[in-house]
Amino acid sequence: MMLDPELAAMQVLMPRINIAEVAQARATEAALVANMRLSDRRHDVETTDAVVPRPDGTHLAVRGYRPRTRRRGPLPMLLFIHGGSFVTGDLNTEDTRCEIYAAEAECVVFAVDYRLAPENPFPAGLDDCLTALVQLRDRADELGVDNGRVAVGGLSAGGALASGTAIRSSGDGRPALVLQMLLFPVLDAGLTTHTARHYSDTPVLTHNTLRDMWRLYLGPQWRPGRKSYPAHSSPAHEPDVSLSPPTYLCTAGHDPLRDEALEHAQRLMRAEVPVDLRQYARGFHSFDSFHTTRLGRAAIRDQVEALRAAFS
């Protein structure tokens, strides 16, 4: 299976990040994010940094992206959770993506600066994502948000956090989420699939990264191949996925996470959860971050269309 030629040219520019070296991994990713920023901020999106309170009285940083739209009335909302192997990333990681979603899907997007492993192992990051969702929904009127049109989304490790957040928020008395958008998601702490075990030389993400990621996130008790993991840490091990909202799920042919995404999509469908599955055979993990490539633009366009459909 061949990589898309444009993406093949891009991936050679990407350094290998060893997340086991946490400080260096964070510095390398921050530099990459700064270099990949395409342009100045979009004039059609207003960006605001804020904080929401955690239950323990500390504060959690969020960033809001609001389209400068002429539409009247409250707008739909997306809580988007960045990736980074549970170890790297911040509010800047998906800045461009969040601006695109806000402008083109005409919704208010919130990014969340959740706590990172290994300093804050599971469930700290997941707790932060749920706190952000609950606090923002409870302020819906103040924020100009339609509480009946709320979605969660996440990329890579953010996909695991988005899935766990959606499950934990189900049945909380608020209107049901209209969508979970899982992009190249981390789903299986067991590393049981063929691609997770054998894709050792793929761009951006490899088997070794997955192994180190889960060890840092779940701590020394993590082992591959177990039948169960801490509740809501590993979406592949959720006992009842029927609690999930309608799902948009995308993966790529050259991604060690591919097979667990395909298996999760089948499991959701067996539970009668509506699933829109997109498989980009010639892409690699999170290739849509390369917004200037043909395939990257197409993937982002598909995501925007999924959001617009869910919010309609």
* pLDDT by position in tens, the chain (length 312): 699 999 999 888 788 899 999 999 999 999 988 877 655 567 799 999 999 999 999 999 999 999 997 678 899 999 999 999 999 999 999 999 999 999 999 999 999 999 999 999 999 999 999 999 999 999 999 999 999 999 999 999 999 999 999 999 998 899 999 999 999 999 999 999 999 999 999 999 999 999 999 999 999 889 999 999 999 999 999 999 999 999 999 999 999 999 999 999 999 999 999 999 999 999 999 999 998 899 999 999 999 999 999 999
- Cα separation, 150 vs 133, in Å, equals 9
Structural domains in the chain (count): 1
- First CA to last CA across the chain, in angstroms? 37
Q: Which residues pair with 279 in a beta bridge?
A: 251
The pLDDT value given to residue 41: 62
The pLDDT value given to residue 1: 65
The residues assigned a catalytic role are 156, 255, 285
User: What is the DSSP track for 181-206?
Assistant: EEES----TT--SHHHHH--S-SS--
The pLDDT value given to residue 11: 85
Locate all alpha helices (DSSP H) within the chain, ordered by sequence.
Answer: 5-11, 22-36, 95-105, 124-138, 140-143, 157-169, 194-198, 207-218, 258-270, 294-311
Q: What angle do CA 273, 223, 83 make, to 5 degrees?
A: 55
- Report residue 166 CA to chain centroid gap: 12
Q: Which residues pair with 109 in a beta bridge?
A: 65, 78
The pLDDT value given to residue 150: 99
> Which pTM value belongs to this model?
0.96
CATH number of domain containing 122:
3.40.50.1820
- Cα separation, 135 vs 139, in Å, equals 6
294-311 helix and 95-105 helix, angle to the nearest 10 degrees: 50
Q: Which residues pair with 180 in a beta bridge?
A: 152, 247
- For residue 227, how many other CB atoms are within 10 A of its CB? 6
What is the gyration radius of the CA atoms in the chain, in angstroms? 18
Q: Are 19 and 213 in contact (CB under 8 A)?
A: yes
- Lateral strand order in the sheet of 179-183: 45-53, 59-67, 108-112, 75-81, 145-155, 179-183, 247-254, 275-284
Spell out the SS3 assignment of 51-69: EEECCCCCEEEEEEEEECC
CB within 8 A of 304, min separation 6: which ones? Answer: 100, 101, 104, 105
Q: What angle do CA 140, 143, 145 make, to 5 degrees?
A: 55
The pLDDT value given to residue 40: 54
Among the listed residues 169, 207, 163, the one whose alpha carbon sits nearest the alpha carbon of residue 182: 163
Range of the domain at 147: 5-311
Please provide residue 95's backbone torsions phi and psi, each rounded to the nearest 5 degrees.
Answer: -55, -50
> Parallel, antiparallel, or unpaired for β 59-67 and 75-81?
unpaired
